[in-house]
Amino acid sequence: MHTQEVVCPGCGKPAIVNVIKNQVTSNPCQHCKKHIYVRADKNGEINYIGMSAPCFIATACVNAVGDEGSGEHELSVLRHYRDSYVQNLRDGKSILNEYYMVAPRIVTAINNRANTQEIFREIYTDYLVPAVKLIEAHENDSALTIYFKLIRMLEAKYLFKS
């Protein structure tokens, strides 16, 4: 781990953040106190700075579905689910750390395929929409099961065999 000065996306002032290889860290800004999320690659180079933790796969899917704005609802449901439910599970931290390690690699692998948009649209329809419906019905456990199925499927299809 090392520390680095970045520009806070909340207030625009310089802030010191922790950088950990292959991980996302959450750092309170020294000026505005808002949380700055920083993701670093395997070399410790920062490749994401934002006010909310990155939601790689869902964001990619919503972009692929297009229709500006139509996926915003799903994204905010999933983000809230992650920050309020998954994070507080006994093994929530390790679930999220695994996600942050594997999700960017999956998105990169899919981006290298010829039918990228089609793949993301399929994930959106087959996994994200059903998961959002379950979360809205307070079926948090079942939504997590869908999430695990999705990640295992994506790993098998795009990481291990490529």
Q: Is 113 in the site for Zn ion (CB under 5 A)?
A: no
Give, as one character, the DSSP assignment of residue 88.
G
In the block, tokens 């006010």 appear at 51
Q: Which is nearer to Zn ion, 18 or 140 (CB)?
A: 18
Binding range to Zn ion, per CB under 5 A, among 6-14, 50-58, 94-102, 105-113: 6-14
- Cα–Cα distances in angstroms (integers) from residue 77 to residues 12, 49, 83, 85, in the given order: 28, 21, 10, 11
Query: What number of chain residues touch Zn ion (CB under 5 A)?
Result: 6
CB closer to Zn ion, 6 vs 102? 6
90's CB contacts (< 8 A; 6+ apart) are none
- Applying the rule CB under 5 A, the residues between 44 and 73 that interact with Zn ion are none
Handedness of CA 85, 139, 141, 48 (dihedral sign): negative
Residues 7-26 that bind Zn ion (CB under 5 A): 8, 10-11
Assigned token pair, 93: 């931290």
Closer residue to Zn ion, CB minimum distance, 17 or 103? 17
- For Zn ion, the binding residues (CB under 5 A) are 8, 10-11, 29, 31-32
